[in-house]
Chains A and B, each alone.
Chain A
Amino acid sequence: MLEISNSFLFQTMLKSAVLLGLSAGMLGVFISYQRRSIEINALSAGSFVGILILFLLSSLGLYISPYIFSQVDKHIYSFTGSILGILIMITILNILYKTNRLHPHIIQSLMTAVLLGVGITLITSIKQAGGALDSGIDIYLFGETTSLTDEEFHFLRIITLTVILLLLLFFKRLRVVVFNIDIAKTTHFHTMFYVHLINVFVVCLVALSVKLMGVFLAVSVFLIPAVTARLWSNRLFNIMLLSGFFGGLGGGIGAVIAGNISHVSSGISITIVLAVMFFISLLVAPKGLLGVWIRGRK
C-alpha cells in the first residue's frame, strides 16, 4: 500500500482525481441551477462517440499512411475526439431545440440514448476487429485515472486550476447570470461572455471526466457534490466551496480505492464514495432528514 502510495503514477492519479473532483464539483453547482444535468449526460455520450470515431479514422489513416499516423500519440486522438464530439453534440442539440417544441430534457435524453447505442456498437466492432486500437478502449466506459499521460496530467492541471480560479473571481456575476438570465441581460456586463465561459468550462471538464470517470459516470462528479453541498448550506458561495470540497475528497478517496483494488475502475469507485457522502449528508446535514425531523419536532 505504502509502496503504491509513493509511486509517481499513484501521485499523478490522486492529484488528477482531486483536481477534477474539485473543479467539476464547483462548476456542477452552476450547472445544476441552470438545469443542465441531463445535458452533461448527452455531452459525455457525444464525447464518447467522438473519441471512438477518431480512433477508427486514425486506424484508417494508419492503414493508408503508416509513417505519418504512427507518429501521432493515441492520446491526442482521444482528447481531440472528445472535444469534437462534444462540440458536434452541442450543435445538434441547439438545432433540435430550435426546430421543435419538445422539452430540452427530452431531446437531451433522446440524444444520450442514441449516442450511447452508437458508441457501444462502435466499441463492440473495434473489439471484434482486434489490433492495436482494441487495447485500452474500455477505459472510456467506466474511466481510469491511471490512463493519463504526463502531458494529459499537465493539461488537466492547467484546465482545472483555471476553472477554479475563474469561478472564484467571477462568482458575483456568474451568480446573477445563473439566477436569472433576463435580469443579467439588463445589466452593463456582457452576459453572453459569462454564459459562454460556463459552456467552455463544461466542454473542457466533460472531455477530461469522460477519460477519468467514463461515459456513464462522468455526470456524477458534477452533480453529486453539488446536491450534497445543497444539504449543508443555503448560500451559493458556501455551496460552491462545499461542493468543490466534496468533489475533491470523493475524487481523492475514490482514486485511492481504485489504485489499491484491482479490477475497480476509478469512475465506479469515485461515484460510490460521492454517493456515500451524499447519503450521509442526506441523513445528518442541516437540510437532511434528521434536520427536517428536528425542526418538525420544534
Chain B
Amino acid sequence: MLRTYSSKEHLEQLNVAVKIENLTVEYNGRATLFNINLDIPSGVLMAVLGPNNSGKTTLLKTIAGIDKPSAGNVYIYSRPTHALKNDIAYVPERNFVNWDFPINVYDLVLMGSYNRLKRVEAPDTKDKVSAREALERMGLDTISKKSICDLSRGEKHRALIARALVQDARIYIMDEPMIAADEESINIIIDVLQELRHKKKTVIVSHYDFVTIPRYFDMVSLLNVRLIASGTTEDVLTEENFEKTYGMSAGMIKNIRLYMEESHAGNK
C-alpha cells in the first residue's frame, strides 16, 4: 500500500536535506533556472514537474553538483554540494545514456561501488554482493550478463536505478526514471522509491505524469524556469499553479483537474 505525507505540518517538522538559495543557472547567456529558493525536507519523496525546457533536468543536475550555479547556492545537509558527493546518487535520464557502450548489466550496476574504491582498487566481495542484491531488487538478476544495448526501455531504467542503489547514498536524484517504461518496471520502481523513503532517504524525481504524483509522492515542485510552487501535492497541484506553469487555457486545466479527481477517486 502506498503512503504519502499529506500534511504541511509533518513536512515542516523534518530536517532540511537540500537547501536552495537564490539559484540561477545560465547556458549561453540564457537563464534555464532563475532565482530558485527551495527547501527539501529529509526523508521525503519529491517530484519536480514542469513543461519541456522548464529547467527540471538542470535543477536536478545542480543539486547533484553536476552543473554549476551561475548565482546562488545549493546546500546538502548544510554543506555545499561538492563537499558531499558520496551522499548523492544520480540516475540520468535514459536518453542521455550511451546504450551502445560495451558493458553488461552486472558491470553497470557494480559501477555504483566505485565511489567507495580507491584509484586502482577493485570491487571486493561486499561490493559484488551489494550489486547482486540491487539486481535482484530491480528484477534484473536473470539478465545480469546481458549487454545493456539489448535491454528494453523499462529494464534500462531499472539498471540505472540498481547502480544508484549500490551507491547507498543519503540523497537519490532521478531524472524521469519511469518515462516510457512498461507497467512491470513502473511498479518495481515505485516500490523501490517507497523503500528508499522508508529508509529515511531523500528522493528527488523529475516526473512527467502529474496524474500519478499525488499517489506516489509526498511533495511536488512546479517549475518553469522560475519555481512556481512547492509543497504538499494537495497544496501545489491547483488550477492556478497549473496555469502559471503550463500556460494552458482554463478549460483544458479543468479537464485535467476532472481527470485527476476521477483518478484520485478511483484510487480511494
**A residues near B, CB below 8 A?**
33, 35, 98, 169-170, 172-173, 175-176, 178-180, 182-183, 185-189, 230, 233-236, 239
Contact = CB atoms under 8 A, between A and B. Distances in A.
Contact of A235 (B28, B107, B114): B107
A186 B107 CA distance: 18
B89 A186 contact: yes
Nearest to B150: A234
Nearest to A230: B102
Interface stretch (B46-54, B117-125, B189-197): B117-125
A151 B26 CA distance: 48
Contact of A189 (B90, B108, B119): B119
A233 B122 CA distance: 21
Nearest to B91: A183
Given A188-B86, A235-B107, A33 B101 contact: yes
A193 B251 CA distance: 53
Given A185-B64, A235-B103, 6 more contacts: A173-B114, A182-B66, A186-B64, A187-B86, A187-B115, A235-B102
Nearest to A170: B119
Nearest to B115: A187
Contacts of A175: 103, 111
A187 B115 CA distance: 5
Interface centre among A175, A187, A235, A239 (most CB of B within 10 A): A187
Contacts of B115: 187-188
Interface of B: 28, 61, 64-66, 85-86, 88-90, 92, 96-98, 100-104, 107-108, 111, 114-115, 117, 119-120, 122, 147, 163
* Overall SS of chain A's interface: helix
Contact of A179 (B88, B103, B117, B122): B103
Given A98-B28, A186-B88, A179 B101 contact: yes
B183 to A, nearest CB: 27
16 contacts: A173-B114, A176-B114, A179-B108, A182-B61, A183-B111, A185-B64, A185-B65, A187-B85, A187-B86, A188-B85, A189-B119, A230-B102, A234-B103, A235-B107, A236-B102, A239-B102
Contacts of A239: 102
A35 B96 CA distance: 13
A176 B120 contact: no
A180 B160 CA distance: 11
B102 A186 contact: no
Interface centre among A179, A182, A235 (most CB of B within 10 A): A182
A173 B121 CA distance: 10
B65 A235 contact: no
A172 B111 CA distance: 9
A163 B66 CA distance: 28
Nearest to A235: B102
A175 B98 CA distance: 12
Interface centre among A169, A170, A186, A187 (most CB of B within 10 A): A186
Contacts of B101: 33, 178-179, 236
A235 B122 contact: no
Nearest to A187: B115
A178 B102 CA distance: 11
Given A185-B65, A233-B102, A235-B104, A180 B119 contact: no
Contact of A185 (B66, B100, B103, B147): B66
A236 B111 CA distance: 13
Task: Kindly list the 10 A-B residue pairs having the minimum CB-CB distance in the complex, ordered from nearest.
Answer: A186-B90, A185-B66, A234-B147, A187-B115, A188-B85, A236-B102, A182-B92, A182-B66, A186-B64, A179-B101
